[in-house]
Amino acid sequence: MNVKEYRNDTRLNQSKLKLFLEHDYSIAKAKAEAPHKPSSAMALGSLVHGIIELRGAIPCDFEVSTYDDFRKKEAKEWRIEKQAQGITIIKQDELDQALAMANNVLHNTPPLLKEIINSDDSRREVAFYDGEHKALLDIVNNQGTIGADYKTTSATSVDQFMMDVRRYHYDLQAAHYMNLSGVEEFYYISVSSVEPYPVWCFKCSDSFIDGGQHKLDKAISFYHHKEEGQIHVL
């Protein structure tokens, strides 16, 4: 699928809906529309995702820098040229880290998920739409019954990652993805950015999805209400 086409589509995704759950309408709208520069953690996550999707290969839109820094004119011009081509410049140690993380996901996951991740028949970067919403699932099995999302995290334990789950409303995301995709089961496959890059896998339970659906309904309601000073029902 054309990921660029998906990114340019103006329909609501789960990231924007979370803003309307957390902020008043005017603030959420401003945050949703504001351009943002990807952080180093986001760039690492994108690289890890890409390597997993290519099952160990390096995505063509990443390139290791041949320069130690970009103070000199030649290095600056090289960086500008690469960025104009849509290439993200990384250091060799960043690539080594991403490869180690991705390979742990490819090889150190439970059999069910390992088979889906490494299968030629699985669908990767799958977009789903309805009249107002959109979702991009990292991977869906060939039968369309099981979906999963990869998460890179600085957490070093399951308990720490569970804090991410609550902080970033992963239950809302899972409900949104299941609604649009029609998958019957949904999993999070998380990998730590801290050596030895452990992998933790989570199946979203019915109660987890129900809680996410409640949040999702509230976020959509707040988005449509569009009035400041409103009284929200908890």
**pLDDT, tens digit, 9 for 90 and up, residues 90-120:** 999 999 999 999 999 999 999 999 999 999 9
Residue at which a domain ends, from 107, 128, 158: 107
- How far apart are the C-alpha atoms of 56 and 65, rounded to whole Å? 20
Specify the pLDDT at position 198: 98
Task: Note whether 156 and 56 are same-domain residues.
Answer: no
pLDDT band, residue 59 (cuts 50/70/90): very high
**What pTM, to 2 d.p., does this model score?**
0.90
Instruction: Decide if 234 is inside a domain.
Output: no
Task: Note whether 92 and 154 are same-domain residues.
Answer: no
Task: Note whether 20 and 117 are same-domain residues.
Answer: yes
Q: Number of structural domains, the chain?
A: 2
- Share above pLDDT 70 across residues of the chain, in percent, rounded to a whole number: 95
Residue-range definition of the domain harbouring residue 125: 1-35+110-229
Residue at which a domain ends, from 91, 107, 123: 107
List pLDDT tens digits, range 155-201: 999 999 999 999 999 999 999 999 999 999 999 999 999 999 999 99
Instruction: Decide if 7 is inside a domain.
Output: yes
The side-by-side arrangement of strands in the sheet containing 146-153 is: 123-129, 134-140, 146-153, 185-192, 199-203
Task: Note whether 123 and 204 are same-domain residues.
Answer: yes
Task: Note whether 55 and 158 are same-domain residues.
Answer: no
Task: Note whether 30 and 6 are same-domain residues.
Answer: yes
Give the pair of three-digit tokens for residue 5. Answer: 């086409």
* Cα-to-chain-centroid distance, residue 8: 16
List pLDDT tens digits, range 196-229: 999 999 999 999 999 999 999 999 998 887 655 5
**Dihedral (Cα; 150, 210, 172, 113), 10-degree rounding:** 10
Residue at which a domain ends, from 87, 107, 127: 107
- How far apart are the C-alpha atoms of 155 and 217, rounded to whole Å? 29
Task: Note whether 127 and 77 are same-domain residues.
Answer: no
Q: Please, how many CA atoms are within 13 Å of residue 33, restricted to the half-sphere of its CB?
A: 6
- How far apart are the C-alpha atoms of 198 and 214, rounded to whole Å? 31
- What average pLDDT does the structure give for the chain? 92
Sign of CA dihedral 12, 38, 158, 51: positive
